[in-house]
Amino acid sequence: MTSILDIRGVSKHFGGLRALDNVHLALEPDKLHAIIGPNGAGKTTLFNCITGTLPATSGSILFRGRDISGLAPHTISQMGLARTLQIKSVFDALSVEDNIWIAAESRRGVFRPFARVRDDKETADKVAAVLEETGLSAMRGETAGTLSYGDVALLEIAIALATEPSLLLLDEPICGMGPAETKDTIARIRRLSQRVDIVIIEHDMPTVFDLADEITVMVQGGVIAKGPPEAIAENADVREAYLGDEEVAHA
């Protein structure tokens, strides 16, 4: 079985700082993966290298068997890999629908942000489907800059979905959400994972252990453990390095 991602000996150095240190990681399809670790463990840097935002210092990254090392972010996106950001980034002055519309058009290699919805039924249908899937239909006409933090997070997921990815990287998708928003977003991510391979970075341990089929633990730029939630919860190295016995017990 071909891995969705095959990370082979990837390192990223910033001067004397080793943000990633010889990372080897193979992620199988049809599983919801989570990457956890303390601040500074290298999780977001790894996402940046995967998506081409940062070039790796050494090593290679294969996406569904194709080497994407050194490719530009837009090229990698066109291959079917999308991500959301830890720091939310949308077009605040545009409507929810227009944000998604632009992403949908970009996937087709065109950019007509001011085209009327009725002018392109294919894109209009796609945008409507994404709005429905993410629960944003009722807010389609609202200005993105007026949304709650949780709804902005959903909008970012919607924008990523509009590019028709086969792999979706979510960087702290529930950060800043209240309990109700968190519960709803977890349910949506779980449903999405039935049709799109998903990798999440998340600090909320109950969410990680509830959602993920497989968890990778990073510390100081390297991978120290990988496995199903129950194995990670019982892993002595993980307890010592990151989670702590009490937190694992209640995850």
Question: Is 236 exposed, middle or buried (CB count within 10 Å of its CB: 0-12, 13-18, 19+)?
Answer: exposed
Per-residue pLDDT 10s for the chain (251 aa) are 689 999 999 999 999 999 999 999 999 999 999 999 988 999 999 999 999 999 999 999 999 999 999 999 999 999 999 998 766 678 999 999 999 998 888 766 555 555 554 467 888 899 999 999 999 999 999 999 999 888 888 999 999 999 999 999 999 998 878 888 888 889 999 999 999 999 999 988 889 999 999 999 999 999 999 999 999 999 998 888 765 544 554 55
Q: 137 lies in a domain?
A: no
DSSP state string for 37-59: -STTSSHHHHHHHHTTSS--SEE
3-state secondary structure (DSSP) of residue 194: coil
Tally of structural domains, the chain: 1
For residue 242, the tally of other CB atoms under 10 A from its CB is: 21
User: And the tokens for 44?
Assistant: 């977001």
3-state secondary structure (DSSP) of residue 155: helix
**Residue 109: its pLDDT value, please?**
58
CB 196 within 8 A of CB 165: yes
Cα(159)–Cα(100) distance, integer angstroms: 5
Q: 160 lies in a domain?
A: no
Q: 105 lies in a domain?
A: no
Q: 112 lies in a domain?
A: no
CB 217 within 8 A of CB 25: no
Single-letter amino acid code for the residue at 127: V
Q: 148 lies in a domain?
A: no
Q: 181 lies in a domain?
A: no
Domain harbouring 57, CATH code: 3.40.50.300
Q: 8 lies in a domain?
A: yes
Q: Which domain holds residue 204?
A: 1-80+199-251
Q: What are phi and psi of 178, to 5 degrees?
A: -80, 175
Single-letter amino acid code for the residue at 92: D
Q: 219 lies in a domain?
A: yes
